Structure 1
Amino acid sequence: MAMETVAVDGVEPAGRGGLWGAAGVFTAVAFVAAGIFGAVQAGTGVPTEVVQLTQFGPAVGVGAVALYRGRRTRELLRGGGRGRGRGGGAGGRGPGGWRAVLGTAALIVALTVLVHGVASGGVGFTPPGALHHPLALIAAAQLVGACGEEIGWRCFLQPLLRTRYGTLVSSVTVGLVWGAWHVPVFEQAPAYAAGFLVATVAMSVVLGVALDGTGGSYRLMLSGGFHTLVNLGLLLFMDEETGAVLPMLCFGLSCLVVAMAWAGRHASAPAPAPAPAPAPTTLHRT
C-alpha cells in the first residue's frame, strides 16, 4: 500500500529517493567528519574531558547537505519537518515544556545512579574540584559540543524523516544511527555496546516525542541542553567511560524506562484535528 504524502507546514515531503539521499549524505559525512575530528583532537590540545571534537561531525553533515539542498535544509532547521501524527508538540512550547525535557534528563541521571547504587552497593561521585578543568568551562563546552551533534540528529535528520514517517519510527531510526555513529563504543564488550544502543534509541524517542512540533533555536537549545545534562550527570556520578559494563547497562535501562513513559504519553495524545478545507473561491464579475 502506498504511503500518503502531504505537505507539512507548507513543506512538501521529499520522495523516498530524495529523503534517503539527503539522509545518506548527512550520515556518511557525519561519520567521516567525526573520524577526522577524533584523529586530530590530540594534536589540537583540546582535552576530551572538556569537549570531544567528534561531536561536530553531524554539524558538518548538515552543511554538506545544505550545499546542494540549501532551501530544504533551512526549512527543516526552522521546523519545517513538523509531523502530522498524534502528539505533536507534546513537550514543546506548551506549559512546562522545557521543564519536562530538561527534567527528564535529570531523571535519567537520577535513575541511573539509583539503579547502579542498588546493583553495586554504593554510589560514586566525582567532586567538581577533582576534575582537571573548571566545571563551568566543561559545562559550557559540553553545551556547544552537544549542539554540534543535535543540529544534525534532532534538528535535521529527525525532522527530515518526520515529514514521511511517524514520531516513533523516525525517532527509533535516528537513535539507531546516532548509536552506530559512536563507533568506538562497539570496541567494548557486547553487553556494553547493547546498553549504549538501548540508551541512544530511548533518548531519541524521548526527544522525538518531546520536541515534535517545535523547531528553530528553541529545538536546538532544548535538545542540546538535554544532551549536556545527561553528559554532565554521567561525568560526575558514573564511570561508564572506562568501559565498565554495569554502569552502561544501568544507564540503558533507565533511559528505556523513561522513554516508555514518553511513548505512552505520545500514544495517549489525541489525534490533531484535520485542517479545515479551504473556502471555495467565488469570482465576481464587474
Structure 2
Amino acid sequence: MTTVFFLVATVAAGLLGAAQPGTGIPSEVIQLTQFGPSLAVAVLALFWPARTWALLRGAVRGSGGGLVPGGALAVTALLIIATAVGAHLLATGDVHFTAPGALGHPFPLIVVAQLIGACGEEIGWRCVLQPLLGARFGVVAGSALVGMLWGVWHVPVLAHGPLYAGAFLTATVSMSVVLGLGLQRVTSHRLLLAGSFHTLINLGMLVFMNEESGAVLPMALFGASSLVAALVWMSLGRAGRPVTVDHP
C-alpha cells in the first residue's frame, strides 16, 4: 500500500502541477499538486477498501477530544515559525516580511484555500500513511518515514541543491514526528488538526520567509527550529505515558 500510495501521489501531483497554469488558479492561493495525496487515497480505497477506511477512522468524525492536542500543535507551528524568523533576525539583522495586504489576492481567501490544500495533503500523509506505518514501526519511526516520503514528494524543492534539500527534509521529518506524536491518541477530527498545523506553517512561511527563492539560510533555520520542536515533543512523550499506536 505504501508504494502504491507514494507512486500515485507523486504522479498525480506532477500532472496536477502541469495542468494548473491552464486552469487560471493562482499558485499563491492554492497549489493543485496538494491534491495528489487525496487521489492516492482514492486509489487505495478502490483496491483495499476495508483497510483504507480502517486507516481513515477518526480522520473527520469519531469519539475522543482533540482540543488539547490541537491547541498544542497550533502553538508548536507558531513557535517553529517564530523561532526561525527570530534566528534569521539575529543572524542577518533583517526579517523578510510580506504584509498580508501586499499579497496578490485577499488574505482571507488565501487562508481558506491554504487550509483546503493542506487537508488535501494531510488526508494522505497523516490520516492514512501515518497510521499505516505507525502500526508497523511505532509512532516516531513511522512518522519519520512518512516525513521523509513527504519531503521527497516535493520534487522541485530538491533541485535547489543538497544543503537546501537537506534542510527541507529535516523540516518535513521533524514536523511529521510532531504531528505523529500529537495525533497518536486523537480519535476524531485528525484531518482538521493536521491540516490546521500545516496551514499555519505555510502561512508563516508565506508572510515571514523567503525560502522559496532558494536561499539556504531561511530553510536551514526553518529545518533547525522544526528539529528542536520534534525533540521537545519526543522528550515529552518519553516523560509521559509510553508512546503507542493503535492498529487500524
Question: Following the alignment from structure 2 to structure 1, what is the Cα–Cα distance between the partners of residues 17 and 67?
Answer: 40
Unaligned runs of 5+ residues in structure 1 are 1-21, 81-91, 274-286
| TM-score normalised according to structure 1 size | 0.81
Equivalent pairs: percent with the same residue?
55
Give the conservation status (yes or no) of the 8 Å contact 1:168–1:205. Answer: yes
Give the conservation status (yes or no) of the 8 Å contact 1:79–1:213. Answer: no
Q: Tell me what 1:118 maps to.
A: 90
Q: Name which of 188, 195, 205 aligns with 1:224.
A: 195
1:236 aligns with 2:198: no
Offset from partner CA, 1:74-120 (integer Å, 9 cap, x none) = 1111149xxxxxxxxxxx83672221011111111100100111111
| TM-score normalised according to structure 2 size | 0.93
Q: Tell me what 1:255 maps to.
A: 226
Q: Tell me what 1:139 maps to.
A: 111
Q: Tell me what 1:56 maps to.
A: 35
Shift >6 Å, 4+ stretches: none
Greater share of helix: 2
1:182 aligns with 2:174: no
Unaligned runs of 5+ residues in structure 2 are none
Query: Structure 1's 113 and 272: CA in aligned 2 closer, same or farther, altered over 3 A?
Result: closer
1:129 aligns with 2:101: yes
Question: Following the alignment from structure 2 to structure 1, what is the Cα–Cα distance between the partners of residues 67 and 105?
Answer: 37
The 5-angstrom pairing of residues 99-110 of structure 1 reads 99-110=71-82
Q: Name which of 97, 108, 122 aligns with 1:150.
A: 122
Give the conservation status (yes or no) of the 8 Å contact 1:185–1:193. Answer: yes
Give the conservation status (yes or no) of the 8 Å contact 1:79–1:159. Answer: no
2:236 partner letter: R
Q: Tell me what 1:4 maps to.
A: none
1:46 aligns with 2:44: no
Q: Name which of 201, 211, 219 aligns with 2:173.
A: 201
Give the conservation status (yes or no) of the 8 Å contact 1:192–1:248. Answer: yes
Give the conservation status (yes or no) of the 8 Å contact 1:30–1:57. Answer: yes
1:267 aligns with 2:238: yes
1:97 aligns with 2:76: no
- Count residues with an aligned counterpart: 240
Give the conservation status (yes or no) of the 8 Å contact 1:77–1:215. Answer: no
Larger Rg: 1
Give the conservation status (yes or no) of the 8 Å contact 1:155–1:215. Answer: no
1:73 aligns with 2:73: no
CA shift, 1:196, in A, is: 0.3
Give the conservation status (yes or no) of the 8 Å contact 2:65–2:187. Answer: no
Question: Tell me, what secondary structure is at the counterpart of 1:126?
Answer: coil
1:180 partner letter: V
CA shift, 1:171, in A, is: 0.5
CA shift, 1:271, in A, is: 3.1
